[in-house]
Amino acid sequence: MASQQPFSQRQHLHSMWILGLTALIFILDLFTPLGVATGALYIFIILATLFIGQRKFTLFLGGLTTVLIIIGLFLSPGGDANGHAILNRIIQMAAIGATVPLALTQISNINRIMTSEERLDLALQGTDEGIWDWPDTKLDQEWWSPQFYALLGYTPEEVSPSFSQFKALLHPEDHQPTTKALEDHFRHLVPFDVEYRLRTRSGEYRWFRGRGRSAQRHPKGPIRMVGSIDDITQRKNAQEKVRLIIEAAPSGMLMIDAHGKIVLANQLLARQFGYPHDALLGQTVERLVPLRYQDSHSAQRTAFFASPTSRQMGRGRDLFGLRRDGSEFPVEIGLNPVTTEEGTFVLASIIDITQRKKAEEFLADQNRLLALNAEVGRIINQTRELQPRLQQCTHAIVDSLHVAFAGIWTLNQNKPLLELEGSAGPSAHVNDLQRHIPLGQFTIGKIAAEKIPHVTNTVIGDPRVLEQDWATREGLVAFAGYPLIKGQNVVGVIAVFGKYPLTNSTLDTLKMVGDRITAAIERHFVRQALQELSRRNERILASAGEGIYGLDNEGLTTFINPAGARMLGYEAEELLGIPIHAAIHHTRSDGSPCPSEGCPMTAPLKDGDLHQVEDDLLWRKDGNSFPAFFTSSPIRDHADNSIGAVVVFSDITDRKHQERHLKELSNRLTLATQAAELGIWEWNIQENTLTWDSQMYVLYGLEPKSKVVSYESWANALHPQDRPSAEEAVQRAIQGKQKLDTEFRVLWPDGSVHWIRTIGSVEHDSAGMAIRMIGINWDITETKASQKAILQHTKDLEVSNQELDDFAYITSHDLKEPLRGIANYSRFLLEDHGPLLPEEGKEQCHTIIRLTQRMESLIESLRYYSRVGRTELAILPVNFDALLDDILLTLKPRLEETQVTIKRSSPLPTWPCDGVKIREVLANLITNAMKYNDKPEKWIQLSAQILPDSGHLEIAVRDNGIGIPQAHQQNIFRIFRRLHSRDKFGGGDGAGLTIVKKIMERHGGTIRLESTMGEGTTFFVALPPSHTGKGQDS
């Protein structure tokens, strides 16, 4: 690269050549005619000074050539074109004037370039890097500096500088990354900085760092790229050693530079963070930091590089790494600064402490949960009532498990209801629904009913957790509910709600606590049951009518119930702890002593058997005795050893009296049945045998042979026509369809027929099966004959009644004709001869007319009364609201005339009856209420009700009239019976209420009244729900 001669010598030689050429051009210009001036060559002479590169020489030569052009103008030989020559010379001088500044500028540039080249040459000689120049990246030709060759060990003669030669020396594995780095540089202007291996002259591949930059002077010009290579083999070897050391490290290792870029990472770290190994290199370390910490981490990293020291990162804080999949894990990080020629790096060791954290959390949970279990055990072993203990347990659960709510419910022993016994926690806002939960309802009730726990860490949206609004409001995410089961029975439920997910260890502890609480609840229930059993036994002993006392193995009294002490005339305390035999069983009924050795009361203490005495004598404290029945039973322990006896005794004095009384009654019954000639029988249904007394044989005309006869013997004695119906009645009684009460005929052996009536009752066993029937028979032959005579007599009476009824109808019809004649002739007499008659005669005629009219009215009422008894009733459903509306509409003129107010209840029902007849009943009662009222403000109240006992419809017609005296209340229903004079209160014949009563009787109903003098009367008519009256009177 250095010149062969010194630069100053070359510069002097060029100056001599230029001056010689200038002298030659001037000599030529002197001998050339003016029209052919050669002065233009001076411009090239001035431009030649660029090779000398001295500004002074260029100025000197410019001035010299200008002077020579002027001298040449005068010294050159003359010619014909002087004007053109002069112009030519002027243009030459102008050109020289313009060329000199350009030359000076170019000389200045060339000097700067030469200075830079000299400096670069000096720099290249003083650096270890090799320089390369690629003038046109589209061409293969390059320039390599001597140091470039020296680094590779080649000479320019051995290796030509070209891009193809560079690729030939490049390691095959580095072709692709190097080519890609060049493409990225050209396409995306990414800085070219890549490490690759080149083959040296010795055949060894060495590591180099290649860097370069490209430039283009104008858009269409070539792209030139200049760069350098640096031998980094030693650094690479050192890095490899470090990499091997780091790769062998038992923890994740990475190294970052001051910019936070990862320059080194071992495989373990890549696996920890879930990345391929090469994917981490060149990335910022913040990629491995959770997003919430990235900003602060960048600032902390900058602060660390400002003052690097070996230390543990984040002391006293929990650190987390961010995996490629977005998950986080706890880490422990140690930082160590590493200072190299390339700058300061940080080597970080990263340990995944997930398992350690889990172990620590597990141990902490176990300690906390064991403490909870111990605390719950301490609480439930207290002697307080159950509810305060369970309440304290919920507080312990909330404090230890850090849940928002804990509750314990117990199952009510008498009804399917869960009752809250304890609750605690920030969300323990308990309402009535939570306090009392029906079995099978809501979340808690379903857990108990199904006996299946329910656990979830996603409460919101869980269909089994029904308390969604409350859970959303409280921010709850987790729920666990466990049935508290003892054997096959649910005794309660324990449940918690949490604002954070529940871990498996928490759930295991909750189940363990639930088991403890289950045992406590069960013990509580057992204790309650035992207490209740003890109280029940005490109540049983206290309420038992029999005397009960206990004996130990020595025969001493351990207890006695109040009834026993009362029977014996002692206070209970007086008999405790003494040999009771000597006090109450010392003497027999014949007065002889009763030794204790043979006492049946204490016998079970010796032989262990049950002893029972039907009739013995016990003695009271006052010396009196009473007959007693007693049993003495042994008491055994779990090993079947006798530990005492229980004696139950009763005073049978009353039973003795009853037995005597029953014997007397039996004797009387025997005499009564004999006197009434009743036969008593008993049928053993399972054995199909009958037991007869002696009278049964008499009733069937048989000789008594045995008390037991077969069923067939009885059936064969029945009249053939009556046997089917009699046996059917017996079977219906056995089946419970009806009682046995029937009549049948029997054939005596002598051929006579006798009527028998039988009544019996059936006895069933515990399964409802008929096992026995007991009954009586008696002879009703004479009764049947009497009934036949009565029936015939009744028929005769019916015929007579019909004839009387017809007679009354015909008589009433026939009597009306002469009455009308008498009335008419009286009127004719008054009309024709009235002026001739004295006043007394006239009055007598009027009296005759009035009496005949009254007589006709009575006859008409009698006729109608007779017709009421003969006509059939038309029973149909009648709307009583519509019926009353029709009646009141008909009576409206009279109601307005008498100024009576009607009060009625609405609505009235629809009821089966003869509407025409019942309309007559109600109209009659309302009319009477209007007539017999002397109050200034008259009213009638109409109401109805259905009687609960009989189901009858009862209609009440109430008024505030004059009332009816108590003595006459029964007479008002008799025909033609009035309580007032004939013409008072509107008159009448006294048949209205009689007809009303007749109509009600025809319906199977009733009429009654309640009345108070001066206050009013109420008539009540009652109609049955279905027609039960007769179509016509008999």
Buried b (16+ CB within 10 A) or exposed e, 513-549: bbbbbbebbbebbeeeeeeeeeeeeeeebeeeebbbb
Tell me the CATH number at 496.
3.30.450.40
CA distance 291 to 281: 20
Count up the domains in the chain and report the number.
Answer: 7
pLDDT at 1032: 44
Task: Indicate whether 785 belongs to any domain.
Answer: no
Q: Tell me which H or E stretch contains 509.
A: helix 504-543
Contact at 8 Å (CB) between 644 and 553?
A: yes
- Asked if residue 252 and residue 108 are part of one domain, the reply reads no
Task: Indicate whether 911 belongs to any domain.
Answer: yes
List helix spans (H) across 577-690: 580-584, 604-607, 653-676
Tell me the CATH number at 608.
3.30.450.20
Residue 956's DSSP bridge partners are: 943, 1020
Task: Indicate whether 968 belongs to any domain.
Answer: yes
pLDDT at 959: 93
Last residue of a domain, one of 483, 510, 532: 532
- Asked if residue 372 and residue 505 are part of one domain, the reply reads yes
Task: Indicate whether 161 belongs to any domain.
Answer: yes
Tokens (6 digits) for 365: 């949970």
- Asked if residue 445 and residue 489 are part of one domain, the reply reads yes
CA distance 889 to 896: 11
- Asked if residue 1000 and residue 877 are part of one domain, the reply reads yes
Residue 747: domain span: 677-779
- Asked if residue 151 and residue 244 are part of one domain, the reply reads no
Neighbours of 704 (CB within 10 A): 13
Task: Indicate whether 848 belongs to any domain.
Answer: no
Last residue of a domain, one of 352, 382, 414: 352
Contact at 8 Å (CB) between 398 and 377?
A: no
Neighbours of 786 (CB within 10 A): 11
Contact at 8 Å (CB) between 945 and 954?
A: yes
CA distance 471 to 4: 97
**What pLDDT digit, counting tens, does each position of 142-157 carry?**
889 888 898 899 998 9
- Asked if residue 527 and residue 385 are part of one domain, the reply reads yes
Tell me the CATH number at 896.
3.30.565.10
Q: What is the pTM of this model?
A: 0.35
Tokens (6 digits) for 542: 């206290």
- Asked if residue 46 and residue 26 are part of one domain, the reply reads yes
Distance of CA 420 to the CA centre of its chain: 17
- Asked if residue 239 and residue 227 are part of one domain, the reply reads no
- Asked if residue 179 and residue 159 are part of one domain, the reply reads yes
Task: Indicate whether 358 belongs to any domain.
Answer: no
- Asked if residue 693 and residue 612 are part of one domain, the reply reads no
Amino acid letter at 721? Q
Mean pLDDT (10-residue bins), the chain, 1034 residues: 46 68 70 60 69 70 74 64 63 66 66 64 68 87 89 90 92 92 86 92 92 80 86 83 79 88 88 89 90 86 86 79 91 88 85 84 76 80 81 87 89 87 79 77 88 90 85 89 88 91 85 85 78 70 78 88 89 87 83 83 86 86 88 84 88 82 71 71 88 87 79 89 91 87 92 91 87 90 83 75 64 63 73 80 75 62 58 84 88 88 86 88 89 88 90 92 79 62 50 81 89 90 74 41
Task: Indicate whether 1010 belongs to any domain.
Answer: yes
Crossing angle of helices 781-833/839-870, nearest 10°? 150
* Count helices and strands in the chain by DSSP H and E runs: 31, 35
- Asked if residue 738 and residue 613 are part of one domain, the reply reads no
**What pLDDT digit, counting tens, does each position of 790-812 carry?**
888 878 777 766 665 666 666 66
- Asked if residue 774 and residue 625 are part of one domain, the reply reads no
Last residue of a domain, one of 93, 121, 149: 121
Task: Indicate whether 839 belongs to any domain.
Answer: no
pLDDT at 305: 86
pLDDT at 456: 92
